[in-house]
Amino acid sequence: MAKAGDIGTRIAALREEIRHHNYRYHVLDDPEIPDIEYDRLMRELQGLEEVHPELVTPDSPTQRVGAEPVAAFGTVEHRVPMLSLDNAFSDEELQSFDRRVREKLEREEGEVVEYAAEPKLDGAAVSLLYEAGVLVRGATRGDGRIGEDITHNIRTIDGVPLRLRGSGYPGVIEVRGEVFMPREGFRAYNEEAAKTGGKLFVNPRNAAAGSLRQLDPKLTAQRPLDIYLYGVGYVEGDDVGASHSETLDRLQGWGLKTCPERRVVSGVDGCKAYYDDIAGKRDGLPYDIDGVVYKVNRISEQRELGFVSRAPRWAIAHKFPAQEELTVVRAIEFQVGRTGALTPVARLEPVFVGGVTVSNATLHNIDELHRKDVRVGDTVIVRRAGDVIPEVVGVIADRRPKGARKVGLPKKCPVCDSAVTREEGEAVARCTGGLVCAAQRIEALKHFVSRRAMDIEGFGAKLVEQLVSLDRLHTPADIYTLTRDELAGLERMGEKSAENLLESIEKSKSTTFSRFLFALGVRDVGEATAMSLAGHFGNLQALQSADEPALLEVADVGPVVASRIKAFFSESHNLDVIRELQRSGVTWEEREVAASNTDGKLAGQTFVLTGTLSGMTRDQAKDLIVSMGGKVTGSVSAKTSYVVAGDKPGSKLKKAEDLGVTVLTEDELRSIISD
């Protein structure tokens, strides 16, 4: 009889050998042994572990489907948010992205940026967390901040190593990727499901996302899922690589699958050539893609570029043209949004476009409706723009039925019968009903409770509509006066649901200044502008009392937005609602922002910063200069007092020299500040 030590040694050797062959098969696509030999190794390992269950470990190749079904998904807070990407739908938008990158990096004219390019898979984004080389957690992207714990399902995917191979990997590393169902596997799965009466999936993307949300991992294991990793979210210690491409090379070396079509290209021309190449291969690839992704390759440059709102400045998705279909317009109606904007919507004969059935499509505004001359009864081309929003592209004129009449802008709101007006120079017409208009009230309240605003979980669109129809909600402040008894008495609500909702409402009272500003629904104040306003003014009182010139000092605010912010806070009704919200307990952390130091040593002097500073960030340098009364601008002119040049200064240094502007080193700036 074999000794326990010998058996443990054999089990360890089998696991290592199987991991090696998994890497050759799944990552390199270059198997060394036939399937029958692989099966023999696996059966031997399974047999030994059955006899010696005390030697079974979670990262053993036999434990991919060892978990019991879960009752519900837990939540995971991403240590580093999983951001979405901005999209480019044309060469012009790609060129604009490249121009912004080069300007931000202060590249000279003709100097190109190196990009890492790869196909944009049409699947489900996930994160994988490894500690000491062992997979400990898998999670969905969720809303980018909070995802679902799907570890039990991630473990069933053969392309996901349960233990990293080799050495040199960080003690803790979180990697991001896309789980997808290959086309052949999708076809075979649907064929089998059709024979057995099982659920058919609409497209591979839905199949991948649905498979990851199975409570029973044995069901997920039956689905032919695969994965490609495209980046690192969090790493403990030093960077995994100096560039994105080097990072992916190292991930692959540790057994993590990366896309074989990835490539490093030079400049916008290299991006275009890669896009054309992948577009030509698209139909022959074994998986669905909806475009390509470009990322600035150098990690240091990614950090310098940073982020804006919910997306990185250093990456963009270049989407393929959306799929198009023909259908018939059955009606044209006008929807009223939370700002009173009337949007014409085409009600369509349902048609299958880009993997979904479309029955409504936007016509954007009355000018667009007239430009395209869409009429009831027309046969139209429908496209899912960006694979998300269905829109009417154009009309097949020779199929127009006789008597089809042009659609005009309604004079009265279709919801509240208030007058419809249109400001000079604006494409959008608006209802003048304000909160009298139930549609505006409903949409404003939906926005207020939404995830990116006050984030009141469980307060869905149907509930908002129900409470407005009962005349119970007029302003956001009314939300905080709801009681358990009245909620429990509503349709599809009970005692427990009412209690849960009240807990969510109570939880939402503790928020941030920027979220609160965004939730108020000030026209043209989105998330990014709300954050800029909160950062600039620091507290509500300072913002409310700011005049338009003061508002124009905020980076994201122009004359139109400034006038709308000022108008919003000049309206007594809006101030009443804000006071009611604060009396209800809605609160956020405020801070005092120091007034401009007009008597400071640098008062009246204008600075421009260029290059990388070694002892402080540009923001820190800016704060120091402003605290002493100086002003920091982004461009050099004859009125510039000083240009502070750090490491690798850009074109601003040359312009300063040409104009005779004094150039300071970082040490010289420090000397001025310390004096």
H helix or E strand, kind and range, residue 357: strand 356-362
C-alpha 86/C-alpha 97 separation (Å) is 10
At 412 the three-state DSSP class reads: strand
| Distant-in-sequence, close-in-space partners of 58: CB < 8 Å, separation ≥ 6 | 134, 162
Question: Is residue 566 annotated as a catalytic residue, yes or no?
Answer: no
What distances in angstroms separate CA 418 from CA 299, 337, 338, one per listed residue?
Answer: 55, 14, 15
Q: What is the 3-state secondary structure (H, E, C) of 429-477?
A: CEECCHHHCHHHHHHHHHHHHCCCCCCCCCCCHHHHHHHHHCCCCCCHH
Range 478-482, long-range pairs (CB < 8 A, 24+ positions): 479/445, 479/448, 479/449, 479/505, 480/505, 480/509, 480/581, 480/584, 480/585, 480/586, 481/584
C-alpha 106/C-alpha 547 separation (Å) is 34
C-alpha 162/C-alpha 160 separation (Å) is 6
C-alpha 391/C-alpha 365 separation (Å) is 12
Of residues 429, 110, 479, the one with CA closest to residue 266: 110
Task: Report whether 136 contacts 130 (CB < 8 A).
Answer: yes
C-alpha 38/C-alpha 531 separation (Å) is 55
Quote the tokens at residue 373.
């001359």
C-alpha 361/C-alpha 344 separation (Å) is 9
Instruction: Give the position of tokens 């739908």.
Output: 89
Task: Report whether 236 contacts 168 (CB < 8 A).
Answer: no
Instruction: Give the position of tokens 């300063």.
Output: 656
C-alpha 134/C-alpha 170 separation (Å) is 11
Looking at 120, 257, 295, 652, which residue is catalytic? Answer: 120
H helix or E strand, kind and range, residue 379: strand 379-385
CB atoms within 10 A of CB 663: 16
Q: What is the 3-state secondary structure (H, E, C) of 18-67?
A: HHHHHHHHHHCCCCCCCHHHHHHHHHHHHHHHHHCHHHCCCCCHHHCCCC
| Distant-in-sequence, close-in-space partners of 53: CB < 8 Å, separation ≥ 6 | none
At 345 the three-state DSSP class reads: strand
Please state whether 168 falls in left (phi above 0), alpha (psi between -120 and 50) or beta: left
Q: What one-character-per-residue DSSP string does 543-608 give?
A: HHT--HHHHTTSTT--HHHHHHHHHHHH-HHHHHHHHHHHHTT-EE---PPPPP-TTSTTTT-EEE
C-alpha 287/C-alpha 212 separation (Å) is 17
C-alpha 548/C-alpha 663 separation (Å) is 34
Active site positions, annotated: 120
